[in-house]
Each structure stands twice: as structure tokens, then as C-alpha cells.
Amino acid sequence: MADLSFRALKPGDAPDLAPLIAENAQALKRGAPRRPDEVFSERLLEDKSIEIIGAFQGETLVGFAAFFDIPDLISGLRIGQLDDIYVVQDHRHTGIGRTLVEEISRIGKERDWLHVRWLVPNKNKVDNSLFENLAEPDDKDSFIVPIDRLALA
């Protein structure tokens, strides 16, 4: 990990991010691998509502973490919401994931966040040791409201 660096990704990083997004989706959903979508990656990196940090081994993007800076209605403060984290298979268990979480925590400290909320799939079929070691369960559950169910009601 000697040559590891982290930085916010920009639209020019879309060609490097697209394959990692596809790998992440395939790892979580299984089935046929997704095709890397550079247009989607570029749009994501241009979106002001989300921030993505990249982990680089030399010049190679080997992981990313996507998060939001959002208000907490209960405390009146701001929090970070870690939405997704991914490290390529060959670089797992080397501390990259942990360091990505530490980078987001550092950003949160600079921004005076109350905490970082980490959304983790409850039926995660991939290795879950990272969030089990770094995070604690919240007192809330996460649910998905299907838009089409409400639109038809």
C-alpha cells in the first residue's frame, strides 16, 4: 500500500470508474456482468448531490466510495451518508476499504458532521467484514419504497 493515494473523482475519471461500477453491481446482484457505462459514470461525477472518492494504486483506480452530505432533521446538524464502497478483487484485504472510510470520516470531521450513516445491503453476498469491523448497527432499519407501488395506489 506504499503507493496508495486518495482524491475526489472528477468527470475525467469516468473511463476508470465505469468498470468498477459494473464490477460492484455484478458482485452485489450476481448474474451476467454489467457492461461498463462511461456516460453514466461521467454523469454521476458531474452530479453535485453525490461525492465519490477514488483510491489509486499509482495511477490505477482500485476502489471508490460514494457518499452524500445531508441534513439530519433530528439533530439539526449535517451527517455523511456512505452509500457505496467498492475495492477491486485483487486489492481487497489490504486496508483500502478501511482507508476510504477513514477518508470520509476525515471529511466529516472537517465539515462538523454528527456522524456517518453507512447503508449496507442486509443480504450482502459479498465479504462484509469491513463494515462489521468499522461500524456499529444503527437503531433504524432501511426500507425501499417502490415508486410504482405508490403511483398505482
Which region among 11-15, 106-110, 136-140 has the lowest average model confidence (pLDDT)? 136-140
The share of the chain scoring above pLDDT 90, in percent, equals 61
pTM: 0.83
Q: How sure is the predictor about 85, in pLDDT bands with cuts at 50, 70 and 90?
A: very high
Encode 91-120: b = buried (16+ Cβ within 10 Å), e = exposed: bbebebbebbbebbbebbeeeebeebbbeb
HSE of 105, CA atoms in CB hemisphere, 13 A: 9
Give the three-state DSSP class for 4: strand
Q: What is the pLDDT of residue 28?
A: 79
Q: What angle do CA 141, 134, 20 make, to 5 degrees?
A: 85
HSE of 103, CA atoms in CB hemisphere, 13 A: 22
Give the three-state DSSP class for 98: helix
Q: Per residue in 131-146, pLDDT tens? A: 566 666 666 666 555 5
How much is the mean pLDDT over the chain?
Answer: 85
Q: Which residue has the higher pLDDT, 152 or 51?
A: 51
Q: Per residue in 44-84, pLDDT tens? A: 999 999 999 999 999 999 999 999 999 999 999 999 999 99
Which region among 1-10, 12-21, 43-52, 60-69 has the lowest average model confidence (pLDDT)? 1-10
Q: Which distant-in-sequence residues (6+ apart) come within 8 Å of 143 by Cβ?
A: none
Place of cell 473523482: 9
